[in-house]
Amino acid sequence: MKRKYILPLFLIIQIIFLKVISFFPEVVERFYSNGLYILISKILRTTLGQIPFSVGDVVYGILIVLLVLKIWKTRKSWRLGWKTNLLKITSVLSVVYFLFHLLWAMNYYRLPLFEKMEIERDYTEVNLLVFTNKLITKTNEIQFQITKDKNLKVINPYSQEVIYKMTENGYSNLAKQYPFFEYEIPSRKKSLYSLPLTYMGFGGYLNPFTNEAQVNAKIPMYGFPNVICHEMAHQIGFGSESECNFIGFLACIKNDDLHFQYSAYTAALRYCLRNMNALDETKTASFLKKLNPGILENFKESEAFWKQYDTIIDKGFHEFYDQFLKLNQQKDGMESYSKYVNLLVGYYKDKNL
């Protein structure tokens, strides 16, 4: 076999392997997520975590420049040598695809958190009503504790660097109850591409090749703790967006600081209200009336922020990411983010907030 066909063939073998391994989540859970991945993530975070800037973002920038230059140089020969060029592209994709799954993405195929924590998958409208009421009561309570005035919006007084360090308190407390959520060796950084991320409509992301948790530095600060705790959940080996929303929520409310708790409760509340609105629009208005005005001011702050960057760009990237998630064991695509309401309602069915 000619060498130029080896890597393209390897790509096909990888795709088949992942199709097969998806039927054996217990194997992935035991040998990858709780085995090889722990070693890989520790090495990456130990070597890159102390570097003050995002190494992954720098690498992405260099690769984009090299790609543009390569396309420009081969623009005239593309038609004549399209077969050779196509094989080269497929070979590169094969290597990237392999590294992507080896370094992090095999976690998409691990045991679902519903099973791991024995949480009911589905909920009734009554279940959602009961939980949302509990959530409103708790969020109102936290907002008033912080501001001493139900009409004032919450302003997070901490810098982003301080918040990064404070996240460890919540994860440490959470790990006492659930050891599999333990977070070690921090590697959390401001994304160098915060402005493009904002136009794309994302609050952060995990670089799967460097294991750096990237956060959009432009987002409203009251929601910042919840976003970074979500990305840290990806770092400890969870691929599902709904699961990371849930883990991030738990890590925030377990934090001793009220601003962390408020960040999580308001984020969860928005998801619950959105799901409730999909079931019964008339009930949403009555729920909003129960909220302290200061909470609504924070909601308006967030909406105003994202609205100023609302273009066709974010819609395009959301559609792309929707398809990406569907190809990686998340059949609901972008809707999988809101599926964490199922986890919340199921988990708190017999628990208090």
- Nearest CA to 229 out of 157, 175, 270, 294 is that of 175
Give the pTM: 0.91
Q: Is 166 exposed, middle or buried (0-12, 13-18, 19+ CB in 10 A)?
A: middle
Q: Indicate the domain borders of the chain.
A: 3-109, 113-350
- The amino acid at 307: K
Say yes or no to pLDDT of 93 above 90: yes
| Inter-residue contact 105 to 238 (CB < 8 Å) | no
- Nearest CA to 4 out of 92, 99, 98 is that of 92
**E strand or H helix at 207:** strand 204-207
Say yes or no to pLDDT of 1 above 60: no
- The amino acid at 16: I
- Other residues' Cβ atoms within 10 Å of the Cβ of residue 5: 12
Q: Kindly report, residue by residue over 69-80, the tens digit of the pLDDT.
A: 988 887 777 777
Polymer length in residues for the chain: 353
**E strand or H helix at 17:** helix 6-21
DSSP annotation of 40 reads: H
Say yes or no to pLDDT of 334 above 50: no
- Other residues' Cβ atoms within 10 Å of the Cβ of residue 252: 28
Q: Kindly report, residue by residue over 257-266, the tens digit of the pLDDT.
A: 999 999 999 9
Q: Kindly report, residue by residue over 227-236, the tens digit of the pLDDT.
A: 999 999 999 9
Among the ranges given (58-67, 159-168, 306-315), the one the predictor scored with the smallest mean pLDDT? 306-315
**pLDDT band at residue 313 under the 50/70/90 scheme:** low
Give the separation between CA 108 and CA 34, rounded to whole angstroms. 13
Say yes or no to pLDDT of 11 above 50: yes
